[in-house]
Amino acid sequence: MQRTLVKHALASEAPVDAILVAGWVRTRRDSKTFSFLEINDGSSLASIQVVADAGIPGYEDIAKMTTGSSVQVEGRLVESPGKQKWEIQATAVKLIGGSPETYPLQKKGHSPEFLRSIAHLRPRTNLYGAVFRTRSRIAAAVHQFFLARDFVWVHTPIITASDCEGAGEMFHVTTLDPLAENKGYDKDFFGKPANLTVSGQLEGETFACALGNIYTFGPTFRAENSNTTRHAAEFWMIEPEMAFCDLHGDMDVAEAFIKHIADTMLADTSGDFDFFCKFVDKGLRERLEAVSKQPFVRCSYTEAIDIMLKSGEKFEYPPHWGMDMQSEHERFLTEKHFKCPVIVYDYPKEIKPFYMRLNEDGKTVTAMDVLVPGIGEIIGGSQREERLDILEGNIERLGMDKETYYWYNDLRRYGTVPHAGFGVGFERLIMFVTGVQNIRDVLPYPRTPRNCEF
Ligand code: 4AD
Ligand code: MG
Tens of pLDDT along the chain (454 residues)?
999 999 999 999 999 999 999 999 999 999 999 999 999 999 999 999 999 999 999 999 999 999 999 999 999 999 999 888 999 999 999 999 999 999 999 887 899 999 999 999 999 999 999 999 999 999 999 999 999 999 999 999 999 998 878 777 999 999 998 787 777 888 999 999 999 999 999 999 999 999 999 999 999 999 998 889 999 999 999 999 999 999 999 999 999 999 999 999 999 999 999 999 999 999 999 999 999 999 999 999 999 999 999 999 999 999 999 999 999 999 999 999 999 999 999 999 999 999 999 999 999 999 999 999 999 999 999 999 999 999 999 999 999 988 889 999 999 999 999 999 999 999 999 999 999 999 999 999 999 999 999 9
In DSSP terms, which residues pair with 53 in a beta bridge?
A: 34
pLDDT at 341: 97
SS3 452: coil
pLDDT at 108: 79
Query: Please, which residues have CB within 8 angstroms of residue 320's CB and are 6 or more apart in sequence?
Result: 305, 309
Q: How far is the CA of 380 from the centre of ligand 2 (A)?
A: 5
As a whole number of angstroms, the distance between CA 338 and CA 184 comes to 53
Residues bordering ligand 2, an ion, CB closer than 5 Å: 380
Q: Which amino acid is present at 452?
A: C
Q: How far is the CA of 174 from the centre of ligand 2 (A)?
A: 28
Q: Whose CA is nearest to atom 6 of ligand 1?
A: 199
Query: Please, which residues have CB within 8 angstroms of residue 312's CB and are 6 or more apart in sequence?
Result: none
Among 446, 448, 407, 406, which Cα is nearest to 427's? 446
**Cβ-contact 329, 300 below 8 angstroms:** no
pLDDT at 264: 98
Q: Which amino acid is present at 250?
A: D
Adjacency order of strands within the sheet including 376-383: 152-153, 213-221, 234-243, 419-425, 376-383, 364-372, 342-348, 297-300
- Within its chain, how far is the Cα of 321 from the centroid? 31
pLDDT at 156: 97
As a whole number of angstroms, the distance between CA 198 and CA 134 comes to 25
Q: Whose CA is nearest to atom 30 of ligand 1?
A: 231
Task: State the closest ligand 1 atom to the C-alpha of 377, by its place in the atom list counted from 1.
Answer: 17
pTM of structure: 0.96
Pocket residue to mutate for ligand 1, from 146, 237, 354, 382, most atoms within 8 A of Cβ: 237
Pocket residue to mutate for ligand 1, from 427, 428, 439, most atoms within 8 A of Cβ: 428
Give, as one character, the DSSP assignment of residue 217: E
Give, as one character, the DSSP assignment of residue 62: G
